[in-house]
Structure 1
Amino acid sequence: MTDNGYDSTVVVVLEGGPATLPQTMSVQWTSGLSKIKIPHRGGHEHFELIETAVPPPDQPVFRWTTRTKVAE
């Protein structure tokens, strides 16, 4: 993460969700990022930032919340 916390690529930990998703992923980090949506097998897996980071503070942890289908 850059010193100001804006526009950098960081590795995040993904907790929960389908077993076919990786446990970590690189994402574009911006100030205020609290949710991510990952395209996966005809839908989207939704994750929300949780307070815990493993190991702190470099890898934010996102917990799976739901899956949505791609609109047709």
Structure 2
Amino acid sequence: MTSSPENVVENTIEAVLVGGPNDLPATVRTQRLPQDGQKIKIHHRGGYEHFEREIDDPAPSPDPVVFRWTTRTRVAE
């Protein structure tokens, strides 16, 4: 079974990443994610920036969902 572009959009949300390093690229701060996504990990400057969903509201909304920065971890060597 294949997914049509409409199904992919229907099953995702627009996410906005708030907080974290000032030099995190603007192109990374807005993403489409699965509707049930709770956490995002972004590779940045030799580590990972972690963001968590601010509100877990199951009702679909046209507004972007805010994911707030929580911590930074280093890449394991």
The residue number in structure 2 matching 1:38 is 42
Name the structure with the higher strand share.
1
Percent of residue pairs identical? 49
TM-score by length of 2: 0.67
User: Deviations 1:21-51 (Å, cap 9, x if unpaired)?
Assistant: 1273223x22420000000000000000012
Amino acid at match of 1:60: V
Name the structure with the higher helix share.
2
Q: Which segments of 5 or more consecutive residues in structure 1 lack a partner in the other structure? A: none
SS of the residue corresponding to residue 65 of structure 1 reads strand
Considering only CA atoms, is the larger Rg found in Structure 1 or Structure 2?
A: 2
SS of the residue corresponding to residue 51 of structure 1 reads coil
